[in-house]
Structure 1
Amino acid sequence: MNDFDAIAEQLSQQSLRQQQQQLEEDSALVSRILEIYDQKTVAHHLRQVSGDWTRESLNRWVNRKSSPRVLTAAENQMLQNMLPPPPAHHGKYAFKFVDLFAGIGGIRSGFEAIGGQCVFTSEWNKHAVRTYKANWYCNPESHQFNQDIRDVTLSNRDDVSDEQAAAHIQSTMPDHDVLLAGFPCQPFSLAGVSKKNALGRAHGFACETQGTLFFDVARIIDAKRPAIFVLENVKNLKSHDKGNTFRIIMETLDSLGYEVSDSAIMGAGDPKIIDGKNFLPQHRERIVLVGFRRDLNLHKEFTLTKINELYPQRRPTFGELLDPTVDAKYILTPTLWKYLYYYAKKHQAKGNGFGYGLVDPTNPASVARTLSARYYKDGAEILIDRGWDKSLGEEDFDNADNQLRRPRRLTPRECARLMGFEAVQGNAFRIPVSDTQAYRQFGNSVVVPAFAAVAKLLEPTIKLAAKKR
């Protein structure tokens, strides 16, 4: 082989290595995309820019059953666009935080907006994980994703000591300044307690599947010692088990060396109870526990009583959140509407408050009931009034003209707006799951601007804590 042939061979091998590296990078990109979207969706988007991609051809490419080729620049860019971009302050983060029991990222939003970098997320529901990854920057080089928090805390193993568990948490989870955790609500919510009572099951801390997960949060706080934590749960947490559940939580946090803001205020007007209706037209009360490490002396000036200073000057009206036209599938069927109508009438006659919640979108003062995770079943708590004539008696229920004005459910997109994931009439939030899963996700989430206000209140204290670190 002469010098020319040797050089040509070297260049050829170098080109092959570059192609192989690019193919590996393309495969990693497609794998991340497929964690969020199905193959049919990805193939459809690829087909928009080049080639005759089908679900089957994409499957063959992914599994290396077809001739390997690198993606074109247009294909690569299109796939990149299917992932959320990094925040504007990428690479210039002011502090680090972790997002536990993250759902679809409702709490993360506000803390990222004030300059935070999310370095660790934990969420067990695979459908929620898809929505989370579709909307929040989760580059594996700078961010860890965990599904079962017990894989970190080892609380599901009887053969592990507290010391071993603490060491595992310390080595597994990145250091952070702020810990966010919306630990599971069902064991403490009114609906969850009623359901478990009816089934003869335990609830609260006696619930082995969810109730004890607060202690996993406590173990992480104890091992990682973040400067600040923000914990979220339903309002009923305060009264569950005659107050014993909340007392144990507060005593646990105190024993870890943390001061919970406004802890002395417990009765009416408790600032730890934040109602989403002050930000969006939905009555949704949540308890927010903001804790500070005592040894850092960060807590003295902070109080949630100042959150009213961050209420919007003008709250969007319910009607502004709605699309002008929606698919007919969101209108209640005559059978379902009849059932809900007479169910409400029956309980009204008994003096009970059970029944549907009909919201008038033309009334700027309308406030919806709390959107729940069961909304996909019948939408009863928030039904949009389409002009149903309530003055007609039961004998006129089947009036043909009135039946044309049957109420409808919110669409998932409208739920995204009612929860504050996107602006009025916006469509920026990606919903890569079915309607049923989307309703569950929004019903389990938080009112985003309410927690953005908490983050804004905490901003100077968090940045001070990060400087101390």
Structure 2
Amino acid sequence: MVTNIESKNMIKYSYLKEVLSINKNKKFIAENAFITHYLHNCRNDSLKIYNEQAINYISKRIEEKILNEIDFNEIEWDVPFPPPENPTFKFIDLFAGIGGFRIALQKLGGKCVFSSEIDNAVKYTYEKNFGEYPFGDIKHFTGPEVSDEELNKLIPDHNVLAAGFPCQPFSLAGVSARTYLGQVHGFLDEVKGNLFFDIARIVEIKQPDVVFLENVKNFQRHDKGDTFKTVKNTMEDLGYTCFSTIINAEKLVPQSRQRFYMVCFRSSITEFKFPEFDGEPKRLKDYLEENVSDEYTISDKLWEGHINRTKRNLERGTGFTANLADLNKPSKTLVARYGKDGKECLIPQEGKNPRKLTPLECARLQGFPKEFLLPDSNAAAYHQFGNSVSVPVIEAIAKEIMKHLD
């Protein structure tokens, strides 16, 4: 238990993080979600339900006398992306990933009052950048054992619900792989495919002004369009007007990444325009690092395997192909499995085998600001950036949303 903390009018989050042993062992502890949400929302009356548990956890780590000397309302957020000082709206970040939605919405004046993410390694990256541990499985808040009254207390009031809910059950790759293996996909996937209905339950109880969703391009066509119809009809039954489109991020980031976006308004607006982007697609070569370490160069065995499999697949007309990236064009879509063999984007190198992208280059391909702190390992970086949203696209859509948000 810490006993030698100096009382301060303004105390840095990094100092509290040290004395409260947040992230010291790089392993998620459920208590840290309560503690960090409390630190971010001490003044938020709608989050009082967390206060008692958070103070209890904090008191285990700091002597009571010292605890009474700390004003948790006066925290200096020395993290790359601190909360806005004078927020103009509130949002929750569901299936938060590494915070692509949060970066964009905070930049526009939004205050995040709740975050949830099931992957522990991802939570660690999120905390490094925002000073907040997301809560875990959203079903802990939306499960059948949780009453509507409890859910209303557990999820704070908010204006915008943002969610890039799991896409594998709806993606072309996910569907084909699961079909081949005899597995269910889409809404029949009880683990991931049904998570939209957890979002819908939160929407029904909390009635946010806007619901902002992202998924793979194939979401709109999955199951002959019935999946999309189910989502749209559900939102309309809840009293929302829905707008959707597919946007390719290639004019904002050096990556061809087509994603499905859906914006739903509780107000009965009749028109919402998604942003359109001028100019040419971004060139990959303008975003590459110089003097990249040889650790990213693929081995002779892996490169030979790519060549042979590509040849066989081209001859039979099915399967993946591994071609060198055209540096004058955007890269192919970055995926979570990229770190395994890099086949989606191989960078040509003079006099040696091609190389994989570096984690920093992956961050650039998704439009993350230079201040963003990368995951601690290459494997984690490839997985997390491959699953992320493209930040500039989210920000552009959010700007249009703000025009309709009172």
Amino acid at match of 2:260: I
Partner of 1:369: 332
Taking the aligned partners of 2:141 and 2:110, their CA distance within structure 1 comes to 23
For residue 145 of structure 1, the aligned residue among 106, 123, 134 is 134
The answer to whether the Cα contact below 8 Å between 1:36 and 1:133 also exists between their aligned partners in 2 is no
Map 1:302-451 onto structure 2 (within 5 A): 302-304=272-274, 307-308=275-276, 311=277, 316-352=282-318, 354-361=320-327, 363=328, 366-387=329-350, 404-422=351-369, 426=370, 428-451=371-394
- Is there any run of 5+ residues in structure 1 with no aligned partner, and where? 1-16, 40-62, 65-69, 71-79, 139-143, 263-271, 388-403, 465-469
Q: Does residue 208 of structure 1 match 2:178?
A: no
Partner of 2:70: none
Number of residues of Structure 1 aligned to a counterpart in Structure 2 = 357
- Is there any run of 5+ residues in structure 2 with no aligned partner, and where? 28-59, 67-75
The answer to whether the Cα contact below 8 Å between 1:103 and 1:441 also exists between their aligned partners in 2 is yes
For residue 96 of structure 2, the aligned residue among 89, 92, 102 is 102
For residue 83 of structure 1, the aligned residue among 79, 83, 98 is 79
| SS of alignment partner, residue 241 of structure 2 | strand
* Cα 1:431–1:251 shift into 2, 3 Å: same
Deviations 1:287-310 (A, max 9, x none): 1110011xx33x224222xx11xx
Deviations 1:347-387 (A, max 9, x none): 222334621142133x3xx1211100000110101111124
Q: 1:314 offset after TM fit, Å?
A: 6.6
Partner of 2:214: 232
TM normalised by structure 1 equals 0.71
Q: 1:133 offset after TM fit, Å?
A: 1.2
Q: 1:338 offset after TM fit, Å?
A: 0.3
Instruction: Report the RMSD for the aligned CA atoms in angstroms.
Output: 2.7
Partner of 2:395: 452
The answer to whether the Cα contact below 8 Å between 2:77 and 2:131 also exists between their aligned partners in 1 is no
Partner of 1:122: 116
Taking only the aligned residue pairs, the percentage that are identical comes to 40
Taking the aligned partners of 1:352 and 1:233, their CA distance within structure 2 comes to 25
Bigger Rg, structure 1 or 2: 1
| SS of alignment partner, residue 262 of structure 2 | strand
* Cα 1:27–1:281 shift into 2, 3 Å: closer
Q: 1:150 offset after TM fit, Å?
A: 0.7
Higher normalized helix content (fraction of residues): 1
Amino acid at match of 2:331: A
213-222 vs 428-437, greater mean Cα deviation: 428-437
The answer to whether the Cα contact below 8 Å between 1:36 and 1:134 also exists between their aligned partners in 2 is no
Deviations 1:100-155 (A, max 9, x none): 001011122221111111111010101111111111243xxxxx831110111124
* Cα 1:334–1:186 shift into 2, 3 Å: same
The answer to whether the Cα contact below 8 Å between 1:96 and 1:116 also exists between their aligned partners in 2 is yes
Partner of 1:181: 163
Partner of 2:72: none
| SS of alignment partner, residue 230 of structure 1 | strand
